[in-house]
A and B are shown apart, each in its own frame.
Chain A
């Protein structure tokens, strides 16, 4: 195991990107991103399709390099330390920065096992039943599933599955939870539940969410990063504006942001 990331929590910034650029081979998908992610806040990343929102999000827990073989320039600081330092083990990064995906993807196991597995692989020694219950309660799912913990996670509805995935992420006690359009596959009621849940979760966790839905960003987030393609030729995206969500949605400094959030984009 590489040297563990330090644990100091004095800074207000949990994550911070410094001149972050991400490339898939020759294709530079994201360039020059400099944004902070503040502790116990919800940061939303918004922008049109294909501008690199998800790519940026996955750079926060080094998920890109696993499936797409990306390369990185610049830095992503986690409590002041570069996540991409050669001495940092990506497994530890993903252990401390959890992720919830666009499509609910519970394991084809029981509801109980879905939550217990993550804790178990990280050597959890406490009382598993209690952990499972508390995670399901934090994810506002306990009341619905407490009588069928041994049933398959796949038997739940889409919204329940997504909350199960959130509960699963909580079981390894991450410091940050990345959510990649967590409600895009859900109906409005399930979406509302997830949004309420996020408000609860931010008391204990820091959340970064990618969303297509501007109302959702306006409703749930504290800070918003607006991304856009900056160069039509290279199709490379960047954050054009980062600020308080209120400011972004009421009096953005950038004309393009204003066009986008008011629906005049295009």
Chain B
């Protein structure tokens, strides 16, 4: 290009401007890379914990428990019970019988009891995935010299057994079924409470409330509520749902009586507490979504003589629903990962029976993870890593479901 005649009032400097833009571009790219690195490190760290070699030592070799040559796996109920009786005290046996009669237990369950109470595998040492890959020979050597009786095996702490088993105090037999069900039950009530109330409040604030100081105050404070630390909601939940509304949350006003009553420290109380916690988030996001519906659409509707409700129902909501669902996904993701408020409202840390109703005692995945990571033994940290993977998968699953739902609602027009 021919050079433009210079005007002394302009210092055009296009090269310099481009260079400045390039530097900013590098900075933004670097930020993205840092974010990706952090995420990768997180995932690798979890993976590193969830798989690896363990050295197991049995107190009683399961081979010696064979009855007339029938190994443990193929024994009948009577044979299993007799093996159990033989190796544990009658007091311990009676207690187990009282928890759940052996006649009613599944064979797998009895076998697991034998593994837990008789065989008693003990994790002598566990190695991380990284060590297991890079130092296989050293690990084998170390294991045979330090623990001659132990068997070394590569273990995936994350397994279908792990997902399907209830909580246990032994790392090898512990699972997350109780915690998964607890999380799902809790989140169900969270959504049931927070979604309709949140969307309803957002509709009222955006479409009906007049712009006066009171409503402005309410709007501002909903924003503030979204920033309140979750532990505060836990304390609120403890005071209201666990203590004050105990008859409701324990189910006693519905005539529900549980022998292991939780005194209000139930799924319902936890769900309500988390519902309260995510309510402001849902309201704010729904408000944003409703506000984003073009004013021209409302005008078109009113111009045809539609009432306010017809306008909201037929035009505003259908156009805001994708945004509302996006906000709800965020809120539910937050709720499912919450730990602190649930500790306060009394989530149990060591229960092995599944929640069966809103009035059950419960534990959730984050609580379980927290409890395992605070144990001194290495193997529980491996369990925690496996449980984190389960939690992430559940989160992704819920989000995927919500995204599918959202795409269904946002029609192609």
Which A residues contact B (CB, under 8 angstroms)? 61, 63, 66-67, 69, 91-92, 94-96, 98-101, 103, 105-110, 117-118, 121-122, 152-154, 165, 168-169, 171-172
Given A117-B314, A154-B413: A91 and B303 interface contact (C-beta under 8 Å): no
User: Is A118 touching B319 in the complex (CB atoms < 8 A)?
Assistant: no
User: Is B296 touching A105 in the complex (CB atoms < 8 A)?
Assistant: yes
Find chain A residues with CB under 8 A from B9 CB: none
The CA-CA distance from A19 to B297 in the complex, in Å, is: 32
Given A67-B295, A110-B413, A121-B310: A105 and B302 interface contact (C-beta under 8 Å): no
B140 within 8 A of A: no
Other than the known A67-B298, A165-B300, what 18 A-B pairs have Cβ atoms closer than 8 Å? A67-B295, A91-B305, A94-B302, A96-B305, A98-B303, A99-B299, A101-B299, A107-B297, A108-B297, A118-B305, A118-B306, A121-B306, A121-B310, A152-B412, A152-B413, A153-B413, A154-B413, A171-B304
User: Is A98 touching B304 in the complex (CB atoms < 8 A)?
Assistant: yes
Which B residues contact A (CB, under 8 angstroms)? 211, 294-307, 310, 314-315, 319, 411-413
B408 to chain A, nearest CB (A): 16
Identify the interface centre among A100, A117, A168: most chain B CB within 10 Å of its CB: A117
The CA-CA distance from A192 to B267 in the complex, in Å, is: 67
The CA-CA distance from A92 to B314 in the complex, in Å, is: 19
A-B contact list, 11 entries, CB within 8 Å:
A66-B302, A91-B306, A98-B303, A98-B305, A99-B303, A101-B300, A106-B300, A107-B297, A165-B300, A168-B300, A169-B304
User: Is B296 touching A103 in the complex (CB atoms < 8 A)?
Assistant: yes
The CA-CA distance from A170 to B303 in the complex, in Å, is: 11
Q: Is the interface of A mostly helix, strand, loop or mixed?
A: mixed
Complex: chain A residue closest to B211, CB-CB:
A69
Find chain B residues with CB under 8 A from A110 CB: 413
Find chain B residues with CB under 8 A from A152 CB: 412-413
Q: What are the 7 A-B residue pairs with the smallest beta carbon separation, nearest first?
A: A95-B305, A99-B303, A105-B296, A118-B304, A152-B413, A108-B413, A94-B305
Find chain A residues with CB under 8 A from B304 CB: 94-95, 98, 117-118, 121, 168-169, 171-172
The CA-CA distance from A146 to B202 in the complex, in Å, is: 40
Complex: chain A residue closest to B295, CB-CB:
A67
The CA-CA distance from A99 to B299 in the complex, in Å, is: 9
CB-contact partner of B303 in A109, A122, A169, under 8 A:
A169
Given A95-B305, A154-B413: A107 and B296 interface contact (C-beta under 8 Å): no
The CA-CA distance from A96 to B303 in the complex, in Å, is: 10
Find chain B residues with CB under 8 A from A101 CB: 296, 299-300, 303
Find chain B residues with CB under 8 A from A69 CB: 211
The CA-CA distance from A165 to B211 in the complex, in Å, is: 31
Find chain A residues with CB under 8 A from B296 CB: 101, 103, 105
The CA-CA distance from A30 to B413 in the complex, in Å, is: 39
Identify the interface centre among A61, A94, A98: most chain B CB within 10 Å of its CB: A94
B290 to chain A, nearest CB (A): 15
The CA-CA distance from A71 to B314 in the complex, in Å, is: 28
Find chain B residues with CB under 8 A from A117 CB: 304, 314
Given A117-B314, A154-B413: A107 and B300 interface contact (C-beta under 8 Å): yes
Given A91-B307, A109-B413: A63 and B319 interface contact (C-beta under 8 Å): no
Complex: chain A residue closest to B299, CB-CB:
A101
Given A105-B297, A110-B413: A63 and B307 interface contact (C-beta under 8 Å): no
The CA-CA distance from A172 to B306 in the complex, in Å, is: 11
Find chain B residues with CB under 8 A from A122 CB: 305
Complex: chain B residue closest to A174, CB-CB:
B305
The CA-CA distance from A126 to B300 in the complex, in Å, is: 23
User: Is A61 touching B303 in the complex (CB atoms < 8 A)?
Assistant: yes
The CA-CA distance from A66 to B301 in the complex, in Å, is: 12
A93 to chain B, nearest CB (A): 8
The CA-CA distance from A153 to B300 in the complex, in Å, is: 13
Given A94-B305, A108-B413: A63 and B297 interface contact (C-beta under 8 Å): no
The CA-CA distance from A69 to B305 in the complex, in Å, is: 18
Complex: chain B residue closest to A113, CB-CB:
B413
Complex: chain A residue closest to B310, CB-CB:
A121
A115 to chain B, nearest CB (A): 10
The CA-CA distance from A152 to B412 in the complex, in Å, is: 8
The CA-CA distance from A121 to B303 in the complex, in Å, is: 12
Given A105-B296, A110-B413: A63 and B310 interface contact (C-beta under 8 Å): no
Find chain A residues with CB under 8 A from B314 CB: 117, 121
User: Is B306 touching A105 in the complex (CB atoms < 8 A)?
Assistant: no
Given A109-B413, A154-B413: A92 and B305 interface contact (C-beta under 8 Å): yes
The CA-CA distance from A118 to B305 in the complex, in Å, is: 8
User: Is A105 touching B305 in the complex (CB atoms < 8 A)?
Assistant: no
Find chain A residues with CB under 8 A from B302 CB: 63, 66, 94
The CA-CA distance from A11 to B119 in the complex, in Å, is: 102
Complex: chain B residue closest to A110, CB-CB:
B413
The CA-CA distance from A96 to B413 in the complex, in Å, is: 29
